Amino acid sequence: MRVGIVQFLGTNCDYDCKYACDCLGFESEFIWYSQADVEGFDVIILPGGFSYGDYLRSGALAKFSPVMKAVADFSKKGGKVIGICNGFQILIEVGLLKGALLKNKNLRFIHKDVYLKVEKSRCRFTKGLEGEVLRMPIAHGEGNYFCSDDYLKYLQDNEMIVLRYSNESGDVKDECNPNGSVYNIAGICNESGNVFGLMPHPERAVGDLGKDGEKIFERFL
């Protein structure tokens, strides 16, 4: 079990992800953004941060780095890819997931713990967790997931919505939506379920920091 953690200029959650891998006993290695292949890894993490300073749009410049072409090829062969926060934004920009991430509705950077309802989906990172409520932190300025009404229906019909902001009991309500995301969406996956993007940080809810993030990491296997 080898996990590759991609580092862009401006990535800052790389060591948190490594810590999470260590907690779970996974072998992990950093992958520099200019590297053009990701051979030999079982899972690739695109961690949070501010790749390329978030210039232009979050994730917009990172999508042109050599490693992202390799990650796209890896995912097309069925490899598991998880994009957390800025990693989610990069997956969206590169087209491995669809939609857009806008500025938070209240224009503020939000850093707090949230509750997330795990939806029934085809995501391979949440198998067996459907219906559970997880608690983990968010920390972002642009996490407001947006897509067209047609695409939202497509996500619903194809079980590609993975996590939604909820209260502690798992009720998905407007007041639990921290950033204005359409349909309270906190994470989605692709059609094959092997590419998963989410705004919350599971790597900050492992070991001494909590247990719910570990449930996501455990499914790397």
Residues near another protein, by CB under 8 A: 56-57, 60, 64, 93, 98-100, 102-107, 146-148, 180
In this complex, which beta carbon is closest to another protein, that of residue 134 or of residue 160?
Answer: 160
Does the active-site annotation cover 17? no
In sequence order, which ranges of the chain are alpha helices (DSSP H)? 14-23, 66-76, 86-94, 149-157, 212-218
In this complex, which beta carbon is closest to another protein, that of residue 33 or of residue 146?
Answer: 146
Question: Among the options 85, 147, 176, 189, which is catalytic?
Answer: 85
Closest distance of CB 18 from another protein, Å: 31
User: Which among 85, 202, 63 is positioned nearest to 142, based on CA atoms?
Assistant: 85
Closest distance of CB 96 from another protein, Å: 14
In this complex, which beta carbon is closest to another protein, that of residue 145 or of residue 217?
Answer: 145
Closest distance of CB 68 from another protein, Å: 14
Write out the two tokens for 67: 């490693």
Does the active-site annotation cover 203? yes
User: Which among 146, 135, 136, 139 is positioned nearest to 188, based on CA atoms?
Assistant: 146
Contact between 116 and 133 under an 8 Å Cβ cutoff? The reply is yes
CA atoms within 13 Å, Cβ hemisphere of 214: 12
The letter for the amino acid at 161 is: I
Does the active-site annotation cover 142? no
In this complex, which beta carbon is closest to another protein, that of residue 56 or of residue 221?
Answer: 56
**Catalytic residue numbers?**
85, 201, 203
